[in-house]
Chain A
Amino acid sequence: MNLDPYLPLAIVLSSALPGVLIFLLGEDSYRLRTALNMFGALLKIVLVGWMIWGVFHGHVYESRLTLMPGLELVLSADALSVLFVALSTVLWLVTTIYAIGYLEHSPNRSRFFGFFSLCVSATVGIALAGNLMTFVVFYEILTLATYPLVAHRGTPDADHGAKVYLAYTMSGGVLLFVGAVWLQTLVGQLAFTQGGLLGAAPEALHGQFIVIFFLLLAGLGVKAALVPLHGWLPQAMIAPAPVSALLHAVAVVKAGAFGIVRVVYDVYGVEFAHDLGLLTVLGVLAATTIIYGSIKALSQDGLKKRLAYSTVSQVSYIALGASVLGPIATIGGLVHLVHQGIMKITLFFCAGNYAETLGVHRVSEMNGVGRRMPWTTLAFTVGALGMIGIPPVAGFVTKWYLGLGAASAGAYWVIGVLLVSSLLNAAYFLPILYRAWFRPPPEHWPKEPVLSKRLETAPSLLWPPVVTALLAVIAGLLAAAPFSPLEWATLIAEREYGR
């Protein structure tokens, strides 16, 4: 029996089904819940590994469900989807371990982990979506699955943050929906196609294509936190740390950025988008977001808030890469999809560790944390240096390719944006590092529960950031190795530009 058509579906279900079962569990079934969580996460890794191997060897994986003529749900694997699937699957495993430790004694864990699993299922669905309708379906499911996570704590602040999140994403969702439907009435089924599928359409439709692009961009830009649609992201900071990791690195903002990449490359086609003048708009938006996010980050004292604005800024590198015509910039943008994920998740794990172990929530309270929690702070340092773009951490590779791509496309202003933003990154990260390592610690931390006798904090909180920090270094050091994010992004870029 040929199992290939079921593989993409199985990858989505490998977390969705455990998620549904977890909902039904009683609150006290700690072991069973953990087992289900880990089973789903590991099974997904195995399945994704199988898929990577297959896609590399030219296998075609496609699950298809016809609803009506012209209305099909398609899950399929191409090089781009595999990149995103691999990222979210690996980071999900790490995040799950972290979340199990983080939420050990908090209420409503069944509800939390149920939605947590649905969230990653939706993300994987987004990654594997084979046409625009399927993408919209999973994009909306993602909204739905993240809302309860943001609202999880049940405080008035959480309620407010969740409402803001919902208002932004629902409105964006409606615009995306209209754009996708409209486009479908013009050109029929919208299967994602390498090189784009609109270029051959009659010129009379170009005006509508431009309007539709703005609709789609508005819908995707909300999740990708493009200025001025970013307002929900700092508000959603109220959620527990694993959720922040999920929002910022694994799922939500990534889904938006990934969607922009899909629309530019596989719906419009990057050259066609360039001809319509859409890339310029995207580039200006992305550049504005990068600078604006960095400037806002400078003045935040809340650690998670500072990181949130840093995300606003960093995610737009992906869109920036997509907005510059030419394969090198494309590589830079795509690879940042992975690099930003690994580095930002590290930073959020560390922020969570400081909060849980020492009760430290603000930058101004971070004096000397490096002495009390060296491993966590080391991981934090790696992430921060990577964000600034210092070799050998992965972030350097991104900026290098973006700059090189911009130079070869003649878009020198992009290099300017990169320089300014790197300076700003340094300006808001280096003071934290200085405080953490070189300032004397206070006599008492705000709180100091004993989480571990031998380690600086509970093991399930410590290992995830250490592992992801290590990954960030490896992704930078071994960027030229086969199956590295960079190599994979190069493969995608070659296919998109038809070389």
Chain B
Amino acid sequence: MLDPLALAVALPLLGALLVTMLPGWSRTLGMLTALATTGVALWLTVTVWSGEGLRSDLGGWGVPLGIGLRADGLAAALVAMANLVALAISINATGYFGAAESSRKFWPLWLLLWTALNGLFLAADLFNLYVMLELLGLSAAALGALTGTREAAEANLRYLLVGLLGSMTYLLGVALLYTAYGVLDLELVAEALTPGPVAWSALALMIGGLLLKSALFPLHFWLPPAHANAPAPVSAALSALVVKAAVYLVLRLWLDLFDGIATLPAAMLLGLLGAGAVLWGSWRALRAERLKLLAAYSTVAQIGYLFLFLPLLTAAPDGDTRERLLTALVLLALTHGFAKAGFFLAAGLVQKSTGHDRIRELGGAAQSLPAATFTIGLAGVALIGLPPSGTFFAKWVLVGQAIALGQWWWALVAMAGTLLAAAYVFRVLARAFNREPTPKCFLTDPRTEIPALLLAALSALAVGLAAQPIAVLLGAGV
């Protein structure tokens, strides 16, 4: 029997094994795997969207020993985004790495990372989540160091160590929960959990560990060097997907597991850190001298926005308000995923054609690569939160609910972040207007340019307008 849940994890794993065994065919096999996995992921999303929550236990082993997978609306939405982004990154990578030696190293690690991503979104118990988290961290750190430069190795070593610290902390929280309740399945733990010292300690440990992995200010220090020094397709995956997976897990735990246990002051603390991330990340992005570093700091800021929602979600009464906030949160996460991936891919194009990515000297490149400039522009629209991107509507809800729930200070933070983002995005875009010669045509290297452009266009034009289907998806399969 064909099970989209199992296939979404098994296919990329199988692909990873195949490309390891047949390195000569890595590009072809890798692309086939990418296409098949994306297909399965979309099938999964459509199934959930049509009203079925999915759940399966691999190999017939049930709780507690088996590996359980499940998909609700939230998981399905992120799986769809992650797989589309991953497909675009794969296509871009065939052009970016070409047939070089690094291509052979890229594909096994990349498919492994893809496996971990899908596994993480779909895992149904706390321990499998840990395993996927580690797999994600390991493959991401290895991929990030593919350029082979010293900076990349240093940055990714730091990334790896910090990631390990985070996941060990998370694991201790899991151990505590198992000690107290004897179950690991998310739903069973949620039923059993009662407020008390154990639950609070576990909450603190698990969320704390994950915050380190999701680079929430002030734990973001490892992110910018790691993301800025990786090859462009890898940066795209790291910034758009890997960090988001950790945030997804925070959200999953916060909403499903610790709902009613997490207190408003705790949520306020996270919101405060989020606000710090928005302001500090945007400010550093504004001061950054290199394009990829700017993008990395912008990720720090954008992750902050997601945490601004937590105090509102915790304070909101159940029902409409909460659903709206959740939709807005997911809208923001999806938009950022598409936008940041597109941005990094375009930055990679610029870097390849000019040999550097120093913003001050970008003039000629920006003029001669209209497709890349447009990609950065469209992604920038989404990062700033201008309409009709999803970010705009998400901020509309965020600001509205912040005012309605009496927590208006988040609205101020969001608006300050918007202005700062406008400043750092247009700092780059302004370079595209100069007296350099006019380019003759729009596209110069379609295989690398089109995926980036499509991602950015999705983020700026499509995701926001598709808010209603996304809301339906989030309400499905709970």
Contact = CB atoms under 8 A, between A and B. Distances in A.
Whether both chains belong to one complex is answered with: yes
Contacts of A185: 400-401, 403-404
Nearest to A66: B468
Given A26-B441, A136-B387, A177 B415 contact: yes
A108 B464 CA distance: 30
Contacts of B441: 26-27
Interface in A165-215: 166, 170-171, 174, 177-178, 181-182, 184-185
B419 A171 contact: yes
B437 A107 contact: yes
Interface in B404-454: 404, 411, 415, 418-419, 422, 426, 430, 433-442
Contact of A181 (B399, B426, B435): B399
Interface in A23-60: 23-28
Interface string B445-478: 0000000000000000000110110010000000
B467 A68 contact: yes
Contacts of A177: 395-396, 399, 415
Contacts of B434: 154
Interface in A286-326: none
A170 B468 CA distance: 28
B415 A65 contact: no
A67 to B, nearest CB: 4
B327 interface: yes
B338 interface: no
Nearest to B441: A26
B415 A174 contact: yes
A23 B327 CA distance: 33
B442 A23 contact: yes
A152 B429 CA distance: 12
B426 A140 contact: no
Interface in A67-114: 67-71, 73, 107-108, 110-111
Nearest to A26: B441
Interface in A464-480: none
A174 B411 CA distance: 11
A114 to B, nearest CB: 10
A68 B430 contact: no
How big is chain B's contact interface, by range? Answer: 35 or more
B158 interface: no
Interface stretch (A156-164, A261-269, A369-377): A156-164
A162 B430 contact: yes
Interface in B258-302: none
B381 A144 contact: yes
B403 A181 contact: yes
A154 B430 CA distance: 9
Contact of A71 (B397, B415, B436): B397
B191 interface: no
B475 to A, nearest CB: 11
B315 interface: no
Nearest to B320: A69
A10 interface: no
A155 B465 CA distance: 37
Contacts of B430: 151, 159, 162-163
B51 interface: no
Contacts of A66: 468
Interface in A93-149: 107-108, 110-111, 133, 136-138, 140-141, 143-144, 147-148
A36 B435 CA distance: 26
B422 A166 contact: yes
B396 A140 contact: no
A85 B82 CA distance: 41
B400 A140 contact: no
A178 B415 contact: yes
B393 interface: yes
Contacts of A162: 430, 433
Nearest to B405: A185
B374 interface: yes
B309 interface: no
A440 B132 CA distance: 85
B39 interface: no
Contacts of B387: 136-138, 140-141
B237 to A, nearest CB: 28
Contact of B468 (A67, A147, A163): A67
B367 to A, nearest CB: 8
- The 3 A-B pairs with the shortest beta carbon distances in the complex, nearest first, are A67-B467, A137-B387, A107-B438
29 contacts: A23-B374, A24-B442, A27-B440, A65-B465, A68-B327, A68-B467, A68-B471, A107-B438, A110-B442, A137-B387, A137-B392, A141-B388, A144-B381, A148-B433, A151-B430, A153-B433, A154-B433, A163-B430, A166-B426, A174-B415, A174-B419, A177-B399, A178-B411, A178-B415, A181-B400, A182-B400, A182-B403, A184-B400, A185-B400
Interface of B: 320, 324, 327-328, 370, 374, 381, 386-388, 392-393, 395-397, 399-401, 403-404, 411, 415, 418-419, 422, 426, 430, 433-442, 464-465, 467-468, 471
